[in-house]
């Protein structure tokens, strides 16, 4: 069934839609019904070659433009995305199953924010002059890296394409982007809109495919940088392949983030934090606070209020604006989540809400809450990537912090408390790249977003992202007769 803004081809290469039915067909499924809404083809090796070659060809001229001209293209694209937000959001909802009430505010709009923000930085991306004595000085030139590869996960297809392309392009790089095969459509619209806004052909290309297409992109010697959003195991593989070619990397990977709620916290705010940190996008958010540590005196009140508030989950047609909880994005991920729920029950956690697949077409599951979860249980150790919240009890601040940090992951962490000194102590102590005090999962483009430990390297968003898509050339300038030792 056609729907607004359906992309006109499988790939976007050298300024235009391209298709080659010789590539493996990839069905695009609407998760709310299981119905197939489109087919794209995986890129053949010839198309991967065309995409990289066109990026390599286009990059130098793009980098030679006056920076504000590059910025203008990005800002125009941001405006076009905002104008078309409704249709783009419907497309995103069809691609991912996320409710339109979410996609209207969190996907294309977040992508537009990134394009606007980095477009606005364009004129400021210079180097510096450093005096080194005797009249000599060093100046630095910020240069692009060259051809960058972006590889996306399936939870935020538009946002990921924009969060990677905006800083890459503003620095004068070209990009080849591979969306997840589960949600291949939105990145094509980003490419189309960037070109409509004036991006030269070849500067941003989208190719579809499974891991092997990603693998071919990552190992190509013409590629200077790889930015991946995906799971930790994929991150390890991609990082290793990039290392073989001495490429720059940004790795935005998975997490098992702690959300610590002290008994002096505002109960409703803390419950809101737990809901936002576990059930937004049906729990398919990398930074989710899935280990909810609740200080023992507040535990029963917290569970009572949480289960009461869960009655407000409207599970229905994602295109109906009243719906606030959609299906899982794929059947495979649904099965993984159901497997974790079974393990939670088998290992002795107390199921206090949900836990079941819904008896309807599509990939639906109830928002699920476990209480009495202990640190050693599988559901407290592994990333589930679905709507499963685990409540763990704690007594003291020191205990909460050390248990919060007892994980290989380090993406995000949050604390709810009325004691702001304690909140800042916790934020200082958390081993996490992105922390929240009395809030959760808010990631505006102005702030750096990223991880420590196994959850990744590098930062997206904020001025810091510029450093991950450019390199400084250092030029020593001698102003005196030059001498040597003999």
Residues that bind ligand NDP (CB under 6 A): 151-155, 178, 180-181, 210-211, 214-215, 218, 228-231, 234, 237-238, 252-255, 286, 383, 385, 411, 456
Residue in 286, 366, 383, 397 annotated catalytic: 286
Q: How far is the CB of 464 from ligand NDP (least distance, A)?
A: 14
Cβ atoms of 310 and 78 closer than 8 Å: no
- Long-range contacts from 333-336, C-beta under 8 angstroms, 24+ separation: 333/284, 333/363, 333/385, 333/386, 334/363, 334/364, 334/365, 334/386, 336/384, 336/385, 336/386
Cβ atoms of 432 and 452 closer than 8 Å: yes
Span between the terminal Cα atoms of the chain, in Å: 80
Sheet containing strand 11-13, strands side by side: 16-18, 11-13, 204-206, 174-178, 147-151, 223-229, 248-252, 456-457
Q: How far is the CB of 120 from ligand NDP (least distance, A)?
A: 23
Residue 435 appears among annotated catalytic residues: no
Q: Which residue is nearest to ligand NDP (CB)?
A: 214
Alpha-carbon span 290 to 274, nearest angstrom: 8
Cβ proximity to ligand NDP: between 78 and 457 the closer is 457
Full DSSP string of 353-403:
E--SB-SSSSS-B--EEEES--TTSHHHHS---SSEEEEEEE--HHHHHHH
Q: How far is the CB of 184 from ligand NDP (least distance, A)?
A: 8
Cβ proximity to ligand NDP: between 125 and 187 the closer is 187
Cβ atoms of 457 and 463 closer than 8 Å: no
Cβ proximity to ligand NDP: between 332 and 350 the closer is 332
Alpha-carbon span 416 to 421, nearest angstrom: 12
Report the chain's C-alpha Rg in angstroms.
Answer: 23
Residue in 98, 116, 164, 435 annotated catalytic: 164
Q: How far is the CB of 18 from ligand NDP (least distance, A)?
A: 18
Q: How far is the CB of 280 from ligand NDP (least distance, A)?
A: 12
Write the CB contacts of 66 (distance below 8 Å, at least 6 apart in sequence): none
Cβ proximity to ligand NDP: between 169 and 286 the closer is 286
Output the six-digit token pair for 104.
Answer: 């209207």
Pairing of the two strands 258-261 and 291-295 = parallel
Cβ proximity to ligand NDP: between 132 and 240 the closer is 240
The residue written with tokens 């991150």 in the block is 235
Residue 286 appears among annotated catalytic residues: yes
Residue in 252, 366, 383, 397 annotated catalytic: 252
Cβ proximity to ligand NDP: between 188 and 294 the closer is 188
Write the CB contacts of 199 (distance below 8 Å, at least 6 apart in sequence): 73, 77, 169
Alpha-carbon span 195 to 17, nearest angstrom: 11
Output the six-digit token pair for 119.
Answer: 């477009």
Q: How far is the CB of 123 from ligand NDP (least distance, A)?
A: 28
Cβ proximity to ligand NDP: between 282 and 417 the closer is 282
State the burial class of residue 22 (Cβ atoms within 10 Å of its Cβ: 0-12, 13-18, 19+): exposed
Q: How far is the CB of 180 from ligand NDP (least distance, A)?
A: 4
The greatest distance separating any two alpha carbons of the chain, rounded to the nearest whole angstrom, comes to: 86
Q: How far is the CB of 93 from ligand NDP (least distance, A)?
A: 17
Alpha-carbon span 175 to 191, nearest angstrom: 10
Cβ proximity to ligand NDP: between 181 and 366 the closer is 181
| Residues tagged active-site | 164, 252, 286, 460
């Amino acid at each position: 069934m056609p729907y607004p803004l359906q992309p006109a081809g499988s790939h976007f290469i050298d300024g235009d839609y391209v298709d080659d039915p010789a590539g493996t067909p990839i069905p695009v499924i609407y998760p709310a019904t299981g119905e197939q809404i489109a087919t794209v083809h995986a890129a053949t090796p010839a198309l991967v070659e065309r995409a990289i070659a066109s990026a390599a060809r286009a990059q130098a001229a793009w980098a030679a433009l006056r920076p504000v001209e590059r910025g203008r293209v990005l800002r125009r694209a941001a405006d076009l995305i905002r104008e078309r937000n409704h249709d783009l959001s419907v497309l995103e909802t069809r691609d991912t199953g996320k409710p339109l009430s979410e996609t209207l505010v969190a996907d294309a709009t977040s992508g537009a924010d990134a394009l606007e923000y980095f477009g606005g930085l364009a004129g400021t991306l210079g180097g510096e002059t450093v005096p080194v004595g005797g009249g000599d000085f060093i100046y630095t030139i910020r240069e692009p890296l060259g051809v960058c590869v972006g590889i996306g996960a399936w939870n935020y297809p538009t946002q990921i394409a924009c969060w990677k392309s905006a800083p890459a392009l503003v620095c004068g790089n070209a990009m080849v982007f591979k969306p997840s095969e589960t949600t291949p459509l939105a990145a094509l619209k980003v490419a189309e809109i960037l070109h409509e806004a004036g991006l030269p052909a070849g500067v941003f290309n989208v190719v579809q495919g499974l891991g092997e297409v990603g693998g071919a992109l990552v190992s190509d010697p013409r590629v200077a940088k790889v930015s991946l959003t995906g799971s930790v195991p994929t991150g390890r593989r991609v990082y290793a392949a990039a290392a073989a070619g001495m490429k720059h990397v940004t790795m935005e990977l998975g997490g098992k983030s702690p959300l610590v709620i002290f008994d002096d916290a505002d109960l409703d705010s803390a419950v809101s934090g737990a809901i936002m940190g576990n059930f937004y996008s049906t729990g398919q958010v990398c930074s989710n606070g899935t280990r909810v540590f609740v200080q023992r005196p507040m535990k029963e009140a917290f569970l009572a209020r949480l289960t009461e508030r869960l009655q407000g989950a409207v599970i229905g047609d994602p295109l109906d604006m009243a719906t606030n909880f959609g299906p899982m994005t794929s059947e495979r991920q649904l099965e993984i989540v159901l497997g974790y729920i079974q393990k939670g029950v088998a290992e002795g956690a107390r199921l206090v809400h949900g836990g079941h697949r819904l008896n309807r077409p599509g990939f639906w599951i109830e928002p699920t809450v476990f209480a009495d979860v202990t640190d050693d249980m599988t559901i407290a150790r592994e990333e589930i990537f679905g709507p499963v919240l685990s409540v763990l009890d704690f007594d003291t601040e020191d205990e909460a912090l050390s248990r919060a940090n007892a994980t290989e992951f380090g993406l995000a962490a949050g604390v709810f408390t009325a004691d702001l000194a304690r909140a800042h102590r916790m934020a200082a102590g958390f081993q996490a790249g992105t922390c929240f005090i009395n809030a959760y999962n808010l990631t505006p483009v102005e702030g750096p977003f990223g991880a420590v430990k196994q959850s990744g390297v590098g930062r997206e968003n904020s001025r810091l992202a510029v450093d991950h898509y450019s390199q400084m050339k250092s030029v020593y300038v001698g102003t005196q007769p030059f001498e040597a030792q003999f």
